[in-house]
Structure 1
Amino acid sequence: MIFNELSECCARNYNATPCENENCMHRNIQNVIKYIDEAKYTIDFAMYTFTVIGIMNALIEAYKRGVNIRIITDNEMLCSSGGKMSYLETELPIDIRVPQLKTVMMHHKFMVIDGHRGVYDTVGKIPPPFKVEPYRPLVLTGSVNWTMQGFGGNWENCLVTTDIVTVTKLEEEFYRMWDVSNSI
């Protein structure tokens, strides 16, 4: 997905319905939501900040479906104006972590959905009899902070891939950061 000055089409008209513009910010937000809605087991979310209510609602619905959600964010952005991290943490028992070191900024912007290690860890906690549903590991990553400005006002990108090398590498990085981060 590409975000640029052409992404503001519907924002200028206060229209929250995606238009025909392939760069429409609402179309791109709906694409992100669609991937969250397809999660079966896990969402590992490393994001500097996010403010989009539709994405927050999709994460809440995923949690209600039984998807295991873990979030790593930056300490400074945890309670930022309009930020949705603290809302998720207070409304749902989602574990959110921040870097231990105050000199380290968590500036990643990626989401691993149904990574193999996460699915394995999650399925291992389900009491028998259980059935593993087919799932598709994927990653959303790129330069964009998941904010209205990021989706509709900046020159940004978000790559969505099922390439197993990329998914595995970012999932490993998430697990590494998770282990060296503090719960809030």
Structure 2
Amino acid sequence: MKSRLILATILLVCLFSPGCNIPVSRPMPSGPEPGTAAEHFSPTENLEQIDRDHLLHARKSIDIAMYAFTDLYLAQAIVERARDGVQVRIYRDNDQYNQEQRRSSGRRESTTNLLGGERNIQIRVKGSRELMHLKAYLIDGRELRTGSANWSPSGEKRQDNNAHFTTDPQQVKAFQNTFEEMWQRPNNQLVR
């Protein structure tokens, strides 16, 4: 009994002491409640970290339509989810993808090189030269992110951009239909 009292006292003192760092398990934050939305703006907010946090909550699938994608931090989050069994499909713009390929030629650290070898990641590039300018993704078929921010460090942290998150069923369904239509185009370039 006396040892329990001593232990409880030590824990209380430690918990309320400024320098005490006892790890506390916290529940994982979840996405917005069904039918709700959240809006975020850079540079006031770090959209890179917000996107990463959302991506890391994926359990089954991530469908991504992204015009520019040079952010290694987000690519690493996608690889992490893919290695845990999450199925990832990435759809890219033709010109933008090819520009990024030329710029990263010879560099080990590029999003394409990072994503390319993962078995649960598929990448397709729009076959025509007409712009694919979406900056959106869908997590587990239920949480949609749209907005103006490309996946580059400057686009996510320094430029004036937004990221809109919603679980509205109509918006989710509209993106699913659009993504499937783009994904199934017969002239797409299969990267992986």
Question: Separation in 1 of the partners of 2:57 and 2:154?
Answer: 25
Asked if the contact 1:140/1:159 (under 8 Å) is kept, the reply is: yes
Question: Separation in 2 of the partners of 1:173 and 1:84?
Answer: 28
Asked if the contact 1:44/1:71 (under 8 Å) is kept, the reply is: yes
User: Between Structure 1 and Structure 2, how many residues are aligned?
Assistant: 142
The two structures, once aligned, show a CA RMSD in angstroms of 1.8
Give the structure with higher Rg (CA). Answer: 2
The equivalent of 1:109 in structure 2 is 135
The equivalent of 1:118 in structure 2 is none
The equivalent of 2:180 in structure 1 is 175
User: Residue 125 of structure 2: SS of its match in structure 1?
Assistant: strand
Which residue among 141, 157, 161 is the counterpart of 2:162? 157
Shift of 1:77: 2.4
1:12-161 aligned within 5 A: 23-25=44-46, 28-79=47-98, 80=100, 81=103, 84-93=110-119, 94-102=121-129, 104-115=130-141, 137-161=142-166
Shift of 1:110: 0.3
TM-score (norm 2): 0.68
48-57 or 84-93, larger mean C-alpha shift: 84-93
Shift of 1:85: 4.4
Question: Separation in 2 of the partners of 1:165 and 1:111?
Answer: 15
The equivalent of 1:12 in structure 2 is none
User: Residue 112 of structure 2: SS of its match in structure 1?
Assistant: helix
Shift of 1:36: 0.7
Shift of 1:90: 2.5
* CA shift in 2, pair 1:169/1:85, >3 Å: farther
Question: Separation in 2 of the partners of 1:155 and 1:106?
Answer: 21
Give 4+ residue runs of structure 1 displaced > 6 Å after superposition: none
Asked if the contact 2:83/2:118 (under 8 Å) is kept, the reply is: no
Question: Separation in 2 of the partners of 1:30 and 1:48?
Answer: 19
Question: Separation in 2 of the partners of 1:33 and 1:100?
Answer: 28
The equivalent of 1:19 in structure 2 is none
Shift of 1:89: 4.3
Shift of 1:107: 1.0
- Aligned AA (1:100): G
Any gaps of 5 or more consecutive residues in structure 2? 1-39
TM-score (norm 1): 0.71
Any gaps of 5 or more consecutive residues in structure 1? 8-22, 116-136
Asked if the contact 1:70/1:95 (under 8 Å) is kept, the reply is: yes
The equivalent of 1:130 in structure 2 is none
Asked if the contact 1:98/1:106 (under 8 Å) is kept, the reply is: no
